[in-house]
Amino acid sequence: MSDASGVSQEQVPTAVAIVVARDGRLPVGATEAVAEAGGRVVVVGSGAAGAARDLPGVVHAWWHETGPGFRPGELAHALAPVVGPETLVVLPASPDGRDLAPRLAAAMGRPLLARVLTANVRIDKDGNPGVQASVARVDDHVLVAVDVPGAAVVTLIGGSRGGHGGAHGGAHESVVSPGASIEALGSSDIGSTSESAPDALDPDLIELVAPHLHTMDLGHATRVVAGGAGMVSGLDDHQATSRFSVLVHVAAALGGSAGATRVATDAGWTGYERQIGTTGVTVDPDLYVAFGVSGAAQHTGGLGNPRHIVSINTDPSCPMTAMADLGLVADAGDLVDELARRLGVDVAGVASTGSPALGSPSGTSEGNHA
Ligand SMILES: Cc1cc2nc3c(=O)[nH]c(=O)nc-3n(C[C@H](O)[C@H](O)[C@H](O)COP(=O)(O)OP(=O)(O)OC[C@H]3O[C@@H](n4cnc5c(N)ncnc54)[C@H](O)[C@@H]3O)c2cc1C
């Protein structure tokens, strides 16, 4: 970064990640963005200092506290000069990263490559820096190689490094890398965000509505309760679908969101948006509970780095139980039903509607743990 920013004096083309924290929590994909940028990161947002210390793989982190409320337009204008000299600027493709990245690209006058799987700086034969990236398109089924002759801003898809998709700051142990340098950006480096862009056209925040645990993006859930084929062993499709609906309520009553394996989504017992894995959603919860899930690599590849894993399985030596902190050898379906009973889930009501009734009594634990 520039001399003016004080962030770096380096002349060689470099990369840096920008990560937006909320209340000290890091978004899914933060770890990968840092890795893609070679360990250099600017952490902004609320609780930025603590979040910077929670990031693994950091070589050099700069943080800047921007307080509550996220104003991506102002932030983009404030950050543009700070990261101006960087050839590659990487943001996680998290909601805040997707909000900030296009504004930052516009403020810097650079192209934006959205949803890249990999990105790196390259030098052409004349010594000019550029960016090579692999961009995911067609619902991530097609990868397109892109070569930008010059600097670029990219958003990186979480999960692209095989499952360690991100970190939730605060919940994990501190992971400061030995020798990592973590420092505050001076006010002379970044200045006041509101002064940087008085006409940034950021919306005024009237109210922050917590996502509904039934429908929130699984990738943001800090507790995930997942069901696999073993949870519906011996049931027909209709009964299996009902049990997955019950699982949604049980998960919500536990303050979490329901996930599933591909066997379950392919069978139609639950929606594809709940599929966790290499061809599904990447999660990174504090707690992951697996009901009748074998733990195939394609599933665990989307698990991130959960702090606690509980596996309920009749096979004590299945991979899921092997990687769990707590393994229960039990019938997964029976345990879901028992939990539903104890948590006050209206199993009969859920079964009769076929799908979870949003806002029903069992779904009242709406605290956003994301
Ligand atoms: C290209 C490709 C991509 C894939 N992508 C994904 C993906 O993104 N996500 C994904 O999940 N899968 C994916 N898969 C599928 C993956 O390989 C596994 O087949 C799948 O994850 C297994 O799902 P499962 O654990 O529900 O079922 P199973 O493998 O059938 O395991 C069922 C488990 O339940 C246990 N069990 C049985 N009865 C009971 C009972 N009564 N109580 C408790 N436990 C019981 C069994 O011991 C077993 O461990 C992919 C596969 C391929 C080839």
1-50 pLDDT tens trace: 544 444 444 456 699 999 999 989 888 789 889 999 999 999 999 999 99
Shared domain check, 224 and 189: no
Q: Whose CA is nearest to atom 11 of ligand 1?
A: 261
311 and 182, same domain (yes or no): no
Residue 79 lies in a domain: yes
Pairwise CA distance, residues 23 & 370, whole Å: 11
What does the buried/exposed string (b/e) look like for 67-87 if buried means 16 or more CB atoms within 10 Å of the residue's CB?
eeebbbbbbbbbbbbbbbbbb
Atom of ligand 1 nearest to the CA of 318: 49
Q: Is there a single domain that holds both residue 254 and residue 312?
A: yes
Distance 310 CA to ligand 1 centre (A): 16
Closest ligand 1 atom number to CA of residue 302: 8
**76-130 confidence digits (pLDDT tens):** 999 999 999 999 999 999 889 999 999 999 999 999 999 999 999 999 888 899 9
Residue linked to tokens 């397109």: 144
CATH assignment of the domain containing 256: 3.40.50.1220
Indicate if 349 and 243 belong to the same structural domain. Answer: yes
Confidence of residue 254 (pLDDT cuts 50, 70, 90): very high
- Let me know if 48 is exposed, middle or buried by CB neighbors in 10 A (0-12, 13-18, 19+): buried
Pocket (CB within 6 angstroms of ligand 1): 228-230, 233, 261-264, 275-280, 292-294, 296, 298-299, 302, 312-315, 318, 331-333
The protein residue whose alpha carbon is closest to atom 38 in ligand 1 is: 230
For the chain, the distance separating the N- and C-terminal CA atoms, rounded to the nearest angstrom, is 32
Distance of CA 126 to the CA centre of its chain: 38
Helix (H) or strand (E) holding 215: none
7 falls within a domain: no
Q: How much is the pLDDT for 67?
A: 85
Answer with the residue of higher pLDDT: 113 or 67.
113
Domain that holds residue 355: 218-363
pLDDT at res. 38: 94
> Same structural domain for residues 182 and 239?
no
Tell me what pLDDT residue 216 has. 75
Sign, CA torsion 193/194/199/200: positive
How confident is the model at residue 116, as a pLDDT? 95
Q: What is the pTM of this model?
A: 0.68
Summarised one tens digit per residue, pLDDT across range 156-214 is 987 544 433 344 443 344 556 667 888 888 766 666 655 656 667 788 878 877 777 67
68: confidence class by pLDDT, cuts 50, 70, 90: confident
Contact 60, 88 (CB under 8 A): no
- The answer to whether position 320 is within a domain reads yes
Strand positions, DSSP E, 103-230: 112-123, 129-137, 142-148, 152-156, 181-184, 223-227
- Same domain for 167 and 33: yes
Q: How would you class 360 by CB atoms within 10 Å of its CB: exposed for 0-12, middle for 13-18, buried for 19 or more?
A: middle
pLDDT at 177: 66
Among protein residues, the one with the nearest Cα to ligand 1's atom 27 is 229
C-alpha of residue 261 to centroid of ligand 1, in Å: 6
Single-letter amino acid, residue 26: L
User: What ligand 1 atom has the least distance to the C-alpha of 229?
Assistant: 26
pLDDT at residue 43, rounded to an integer: 97
Task: Compute the distance from residue 258 Cα to the ligand 1 centre, in Å.
Answer: 16
Q: How remote is the CA of residue 336 from the centroid of ligand 1, in Å?
A: 18
Judge if 190 and 230 occupy the same domain: no
Protein residue with least CA distance to atom 4, ligand 1: 298
Same domain, 328 and 296: yes
**How many domains would you assign to the chain?**
2
Alpha helices, DSSP H, located in the chain: 30-36, 48-54, 72-83, 95-108, 187-190, 193-196, 237-253, 262-266, 297-300, 319-322, 332-343, 347-353
Does 323 have pLDDT greater than 90?
yes
Edge-to-edge order in the sheet of strand 15-21: 142-148, 129-137, 112-123, 152-156, 88-92, 15-21, 40-45, 60-65, 181-184
Instruction: List pLDDT tens digits, range 267-313.
Output: 999 999 999 998 888 888 889 999 999 999 999 999 988 889 999 99
pLDDT at 42: 96
Q: Evaluate whether residue 212 is within a structural domain.
A: no
